[in-house]
Chain A
Amino acid sequence: MRESTKWCIAGLAGLMLAVAPARAQFEFGGKEIQLHGFFSQGFTSSDTNNFLTMKSNSGSFAFTDGGMNISTKLTSRLRVGAQAYSRNIGELSNGRVELDWAYGDYRFTDWLGVRAGKVKTTLGLYNDTQDMEFLHTWAMLPQSFYPLDLRASNISHKGGDLYGEIPVKKLGTLDYTVYGGLRSDDPRGGFRYGLADAGTPISAIDGYLMGADLRWAVPLEGLVIGTTVIKIQGGASAKLEAAGGLPIYADVLGRTFAHYIEYQRNGLKLATEYRRDIASYYFNTPFVPAASNDNRAWYLSGSYRFHPRFEAGAYYSRFIADWDLDHSLPNNKINDTAITARFNLYKTNWNVKAEGHFISGFGNPMSAHSFYTRTNPQGLVPRTNLLILRTGVNF
């Protein structure tokens, strides 16, 4: 069976489930079980560079993802659940089904709860909901901040969260999440794909991360301000092709800082986020990094729901692969202006989106943000215009 046929069948299955919401909840052994799922299919077409390892230059349907979860409340305070997820983005992920999250969640009080297992990582406004296209106006979130190439590396960790919400009387509420655990590795993700292009195929990535997110819902209705800090300590094993396959091991020390503001009111949604990722790589020199990288990203977005069935919006997103280099170089920047129209065909369960991207620059392929030399063997050019059509169902 052709890959595209398989994905079409999966899509139809998803659509059928979406129009049968009664199946989403049922009783089993005296407990209510909830079953929910989503599926999306996209089409991309670009005028120059191939995008996200897809053959977008000649039109590509290799933009598919879906997931299904099951959960139940074992007691009034304890909930357990798990979600399976699969995607096919160009040459990334290849339709492999993976455990997206699976954990137990015990809530002692409103201001203290604990989750343990494979847990979605809280980073910025939308890291943990980035797959859920139905929650967003956009066919594709700003790639400077939420690169699909690095989705599996950023989306979750194996460990635990402490979380809670603290009302601060007239000052609104504070939501916090403190977490730690093992980093996720993605053998089919953009990080490895880009490094393999550069002659440094990675064979393993390990290590742990610690992070904290604090978001303040201020007394002004709909306004949220927050910040996330993450520290990563780990390593990567690779073989240097230029040195005849010489094995190397690099210790990696990384830090991520993200700051964000979101305002939602009466169909209007405004958001801006700033993110800085700093990484230092050590090869047998514990105190002096052999290499380091400081990449930064920010975006500004605005959308408006004109009608329950129609909303539109635009964003401007910027990514600088290495802050120490010239920000105007095409191989160091990706500036993306996007405009989107979204149509809700059935409540919030089925939508269609059309989105135009006008992209300047292609960044550094090794930073795993959308453009790669392997899928652009003719050479990358500074400008890309991209059309994305995407439809998604959920139940």
Chain B
Amino acid sequence: MKRYLMKAILSVVTLTTPLLAEVAVVANSSVGVSEISTDDLKRVFLGAKSSLSDGSNVEPVLLQAGAAHEAFLKEYVGKTDAALRNHFKSLVFTGKGSMPKSFASDAEVVAYVAKTKGAIGYVSNAGAAAGVKRIAVR
């Protein structure tokens, strides 16, 4: 019985780990922190938080679609793509915020984050994220 239970737990871990590992948070080298809390990450991507604990100003950068995008929103933002778009529209049309930059691919996100001071984004393949720093989410 105990063995089956262990197998079940291992199966769940094995199945879920790759899903979570698909998303890596990356930032421009100007961002001083190397880790961020899930709460702060959520607030950055909702436009409510514009600076981190080291004082650096940050600007969220989104993927436009895809598995990594959906996984990131579900895991860290708690909104669907449509709900997030509507959230930013409510800011844009009241003048209380701007629409964040969004890109179609990891490569475009990485290229923009690498050249833009304060930019923070996410990609599905951290290994390909050259020129940006990886941010750990705790």
- Residue positions of A touching B, CB distance < 8 A: 24-25, 34, 36, 38, 67, 69, 71, 73, 76-77, 79, 81-83, 101-103, 105, 107, 109-110, 115, 119-120, 128-129, 131-132, 134-135, 165, 167, 173, 221-222, 264, 267, 305, 308, 344, 347-348, 394
Chain A residues touching B, majority SS = strand
Shortest 7 CB-CB distances between A and B: which pairs? A76-B57, A128-B94, A120-B94, A101-B95, A81-B95, A348-B85, A165-B48
Q: Is the CB of B98 within 8 A of A34?
A: yes
Residue of A whose beta carbon sits closest to that of B90: A129
Q: Is the CB of B95 within 8 A of A71?
A: yes
Q: How far is the CA of A120 from the CA of B48 in the complex (A)?
A: 18
Q: Is the CB of A221 within 8 A of B78?
A: yes
Identify which of B78, B80, B92, B118 contacts A69 (C-beta below 8 A): B92
Q: How far is the CA of A166 from the CA of B50 in the complex (A)?
A: 13
| B96, CB-defined interface residue at 8 Å | yes
Known pairs A24-B99, A344-B82 / 16 extra A-B pairs, C-beta < 8 Å: A36-B99, A69-B95, A71-B92, A71-B98, A76-B50, A77-B50, A83-B95, A102-B95, A107-B50, A110-B49, A120-B95, A120-B96, A129-B94, A135-B89, A222-B78, A264-B83
What class of interface size applies to chain B in its complex with A?
20 to 34
Interface string of B4-44 (1 = CB under 8 A from A): 00000000000000000000000000000000000100010
Q: Is the CB of A132 within 8 A of B95?
A: no
Q: How far is the CA of A24 from the CA of B90 in the complex (A)?
A: 16
Instruction: Give min CB distance, A65 to chain B, whole Å.
Output: 12
| B86, CB-defined interface residue at 8 Å | yes
Instruction: Give min CB distance, B56 to chain A, whole Å.
Output: 10
Q: What are the residues of chain A within 8 A of B93 when measuring CB–CB?
A: 36, 38, 67, 69, 83, 129, 131-132, 394
Q: What are the residues of chain A within 8 A of B39 when measuring CB–CB?
A: 167
Residue of B whose beta carbon sits closest to that of A101: B95
- Residue positions of B touching A, CB distance < 8 A: 39, 43, 48-51, 57, 59, 78, 80, 82-83, 85-86, 89-90, 92-99, 101, 118
Instruction: List, sorted by A's number, 17 A–B pairs whose CB atoms are closer than 8 Å.
Output: A25-B99, A34-B99, A36-B92, A76-B57, A76-B59, A79-B97, A79-B98, A101-B95, A105-B95, A107-B50, A110-B50, A129-B90, A135-B86, A165-B48, A165-B49, A264-B83, A344-B82
Residue of A whose beta carbon sits closest to that of B86: A135
Q: How far is the CA of A38 from the CA of B92 in the complex (A)?
A: 11
Residue of B whose beta carbon sits closest to that of A269: B83
Identify which of B82, B90, B95, B101 contacts A308 (C-beta below 8 A): B82
Residue of A whose beta carbon sits closest to that of B87: A135
Q: What are the residues of chain B within 8 A of A394 when measuring CB–CB?
A: 89, 93
Residue of A whose beta carbon sits closest to that of B117: A76
Identify which of A76, A107, A110, A134 contacts B89 (C-beta below 8 A): A134
Q: Is the CB of A101 within 8 A of B94?
A: yes
Q: How far is the CA of A394 from the CA of B85 in the complex (A)?
A: 12
Q: Is the CB of B78 within 8 A of A348?
A: no
Q: Is the CB of B92 within 8 A of A348?
A: no
Instruction: Give min CB distance, A114 to chain B, whole Å.
Output: 12
Q: Is the CB of A348 within 8 A of B86?
A: yes
Q: What are the residues of chain B within 8 A of A109 when measuring CB–CB?
A: 51
Q: What are the residues of chain A within 8 A of B48 when measuring CB–CB?
A: 110, 165, 173
Instruction: Give min CB distance, B42 to chain A, whole Å.
Output: 10
Q: What are the residues of chain B within 8 A of A69 when measuring CB–CB?
A: 92-93, 95
With A110-B48, A167-B39, A347-B82 known to touch, is A77 a contact of B57 (CB < 8 Å)?
yes
Q: How far is the CA of A76 from the CA of B31 in the complex (A)?
A: 14
Instruction: Give min CB distance, A312 to chain B, whole Å.
Output: 16
Q: Is the CB of A132 within 8 A of B99?
A: no
Q: What are the residues of chain A within 8 A of B83 when measuring CB–CB?
A: 264
Q: How far is the CA of A348 from the CA of B82 in the complex (A)?
A: 6
Residue of B whose beta carbon sits closest to that of A163: B96
Q: What are the residues of chain A within 8 A of B50 when measuring CB–CB?
A: 76-77, 107, 110
Instruction: Give min CB distance, B45 to chain A, whole Å.
Output: 14
Q: How far is the CA of A160 from the CA of B102 in the complex (A)?
A: 31
Q: What are the residues of chain B within 8 A of A36 when measuring CB–CB?
A: 89, 92-93, 99
Q: What are the residues of chain A within 8 A of B49 when measuring CB–CB?
A: 110, 165
Q: Is the CB of A73 within 8 A of B98?
A: yes
Residue of A whose beta carbon sits closest to that of B78: A221
Q: Is the CB of A132 within 8 A of B82?
A: no
Which of B80, B96, B101 lies at the interface centre, i.e. has the most chain A CB atoms within 10 A of its CB?
A: B96
Q: What are the residues of chain B within 8 A of A348 when measuring CB–CB?
A: 82, 85-86, 89
Residue of A whose beta carbon sits closest to that of B39: A167
Instruction: Give min CB distance, A344 to chain B, whole Å.
Output: 8
Q: Is the CB of B98 within 8 A of A132?
A: no
Instruction: Give min CB distance, A122 to chain B, whole Å.
Output: 9
Instruction: Give min CB distance, A338 to chain B, whole Å.
Output: 20
Identify which of B43, B80, B90, B97 contacts A135 (C-beta below 8 A): B90
